[in-house]
Amino acid sequence: MNEQTNYIQPLENKLRREIAARYQAEQLLEEKSRELYKTNLELYLRNQKIAEQSRDLQKQVVELKETREQLVQSEKMAVIGQLAAGVAHEINNPVGFVASNLDTLSDYVVDLCTLVTKQDQCLAMLVGERDKDYKLFDDLRLFIDKINLDYLLPDIEQLINDSIEGTQRVEQIVADLSDFSHLKAPQARLEDINILMQKTINIASNELKYKAEIELHLAELPPVVCHGGKIGQVFLNLLVNAAQAIKKRGLITVATGNDGQTVWIQITDDGCGISKTNLGKIFDPFFTTKEIGKGTGLGLHVVKAAVDMHGGDIYVSSTEGCGASFKIVLPVAGAVK
CA distance to 281, 298, 319, 330, per residue, from 276 (Å): 10, 20, 8, 26
* pLDDT in the model for residue 337: 60
* pLDDT in the model for residue 293: 47
* pLDDT in the model for residue 103: 78
**In tens digits, what is the pLDDT along the chain, a chain of 337 residues?**
555 556 667 767 777 777 777 778 778 777 877 888 788 788 888 888 888 887 778 877 777 766 666 666 555 655 665 565 566 666 767 777 777 787 788 788 888 878 877 876 776 676 555 555 567 667 777 887 787 877 877 888 888 878 877 777 777 766 666 665 554 555 688 999 999 999 888 878 877 888 899 999 999 999 999 988 889 889 988 998 899 889 889 999 999 999 989 999 999 999 888 888 888 888 887 667 665 445 555 678 888 888 998 999 999 999 888 899 999 999 987 666 6
Measured in whole angstroms, how far is the alpha carbon of residue 213 from the centre of its chain? Answer: 23
* pLDDT in the model for residue 223: 92
CA 133, 137, 140, 141 torsion: positive or negative? negative
For residue 83, which of 182, 180, 169 has the smallest C-alpha distance?
180
Angle formed at CA 217 by CA 189 and CA 297, multiple of 5 degrees: 65
Neighbours of 254 (CB within 10 A): 22
Structural domains of the chain ordered from first start: 187-337 (3.30.565.10)
For residue 208, which of 265, 173, 253, 167 has the smallest C-alpha distance?
253
**Relative orientation angle of helices 228-245 and 193-203, to the nearest 10 degrees:** 50
**Pairing of the two strands 189-191 and 324-331:** unpaired
**pTM exceeds 0.75 for this model:** no
- Strand-pairing partners, residue 212, are 250
Instruction: Give the span between the Cα atoms of 279 and 268, in whole angstroms.
Output: 15
